[in-house]
Amino acid sequence: MNDLDEKTIKIIAKNRKARHDFTVLDTVEAGIELLGSEVKSLRVGKVNIADAYAIIEDGNIILRNLHISPYKMANRENHDPLRARQLLLHKREIRKLKAKTEQTGSTLIPLSIYFKNKLVKIELALAVGRKKYDKRQAIAKADAQKKIKSALKKEI
């Protein structure tokens, strides 16, 4: 196998609202504990991460409000779409995240879910909520950057 086969990444879903509503301080990649019908549903792309968030309880990181639609072919073995799912991280990473959330008053939100090789991974962000005026400033800054880039392209 070559390096491309070993590191294939297929993005399932992105939380586009997250970078608008939050200021991302740090990101971490975590595994996620799933049932078989959930993985099959993810392969079809039936997931919504817009309202999802993670909390730390009893030394574990639990992901809540992640909606994975039931897999149609799973019949009685199907899963609850909004069940709490455990994220898989090393204990020292969990301790670091817990300390950072307590110090800065930040939250843990998922940015994206993707397949890395055959494993389902989630990009988790340590983020602080933005106020309404911060959002306006971020939009104005992005617009200014776009105008600068377009002006530079016109010159060339």
In a domain, 98, yes or no: yes
In a domain, 123, yes or no: yes
In a domain, 142, yes or no: no
Q: Name the nearest CA neighbour of 108 among 34, 22, 47.
A: 22
- Residues of the domain holding 72: 3-130
Which pLDDT band holds residue 6 (cuts at 50, 70, 90)? Answer: low
Q: Tell me, what CATH number does 110's domain have? A: 2.40.280.10
Which pLDDT band holds residue 2 (cuts at 50, 70, 90)? Answer: very low
| Count of other CB atoms within 10 angstroms of residue 35 | 17
In a domain, 26, yes or no: yes
Higher pLDDT, 75 or 117: 117
Which pLDDT band holds residue 40 (cuts at 50, 70, 90)? Answer: confident
In a domain, 144, yes or no: no
In a domain, 91, yes or no: yes
The angle formed by the CA atoms of residues 35, 64 and 115, to the nearest 5 degrees, is 50
The DSSP secondary structure of 80-133, one letter per residue, reads -TT--EEEE--HHHHHHHHHHHHHH--EEEEEEEEEETTEEEEEEEEEEEPPHH
Per-residue pLDDT of 139-152, as tens digits, reads 888 889 998 988 88
For 76-98, b/e burial (b = at least 16 CB within 10 A) is eebbeeeeebebebeeebbeebe
Per-residue pLDDT of 48-102, as tens digits, reads 998 899 999 998 999 999 998 888 877 777 777 888 999 999 999 999 999 988 8
Entry field: residues in the chain? 156
- Number of domain units in the chain: 1
| Count of other CB atoms within 10 angstroms of residue 104 | 13
In a domain, 53, yes or no: yes
Distance CA 12, CA 66 (A): 13
In a domain, 95, yes or no: yes
Q: Is the pLDDT of residue 29 over 90?
A: yes
Higher pLDDT, 23 or 135: 23
Q: Is the pLDDT of residue 130 over 60?
A: yes
